Amino acid sequence: MPRHFALVPAAGSGSRVGGGTPKQYLTLEGKPLLFYALRQLAAHPLIREVFVVLAPDDTRFRTAGGDELSAKIRPLYCGGETRAASVRNGLSSARDVIASHDWMLVHDAARPCLSAAALARLIREIASDEVGGLLAIPVADTLKRAGAQDRVMTTERREGLWQAQTPQMFRYGALTEALQLYGPAVTDEAGAIEKLGLKPRLVVGEARNLKVTYPEDLALATVILRSDEAVVTRR
């Protein structure tokens, strides 16, 4: 039976949110974004180990709270200059413990609000899929393509369009091959798998699984996490 592993690339040094702190280490409710991303993955019973790919000179992770979460968390100080390079390096570093047919879930460090329900749904629905897949949500808003000076050039049809999220779940062997061949040309793991001629499955995600990119995203993520904690407290 295939086993399940997870990988979180967290070697980035920049942030559009503001300030000099790498985005994955910005704090929400006293913990960095990375802590929450790792916490949900480590809590799932089927995920055996969670690899977090860090920059070789990272000095923040030791105080990021990872040790509080689970013995499942395994830091790898092999991050690259891009997300694809970090994922590829992480997969290579983990090759001695993962088989080609095992599942690998890749999740953004800056998505702190992944719910247990969405993660379970992804694992359950992809378990019998030959290719793999990803969480995503159908595009609901009207899409405009901009031209010069940010003027609307055309309105795009939104039928059949989905907004990709993470985790993205693929076989270790196929994902490794895809990123080795196409990593520099894609922005997510599904894009690399697609270039192999395969068609990943879309699994309905949740709007709450936002990627923190701008300052207002931090405020929204804080509201979501506080709501989760309130539900736990009432129980």
pLDDT digits (tens, 9 = 90+) for 36-84: 999 999 999 999 999 999 999 999 998 877 667 778 999 999 999 999 9
16 SS3 class:
coil
Q: Where residue 233 falls among pLDDT bands split at 50, 70, 90?
A: low
Q: The domain spanning residue 51 has which CATH number?
A: 3.90.550.10
Give start and end residues of each alpha helix (H) in 70-150. Answer: 83-93, 116-126
DSSP state of 25: G
170 SS3 class:
strand
pLDDT digits (tens, 9 = 90+) for 110-130: 999 999 999 999 999 999 999
The pLDDT of residue 232 is above 80:
no
Structure pTM? 0.94
How far is residue 15's CA from residue 220's CA, in Å, rounded to a whole number? 17
> Structurally, how many domains does the chain consist of?
1
Domain range for 131 is: 4-234
Q: How far apart are the first and last CA of the chain?
A: 35
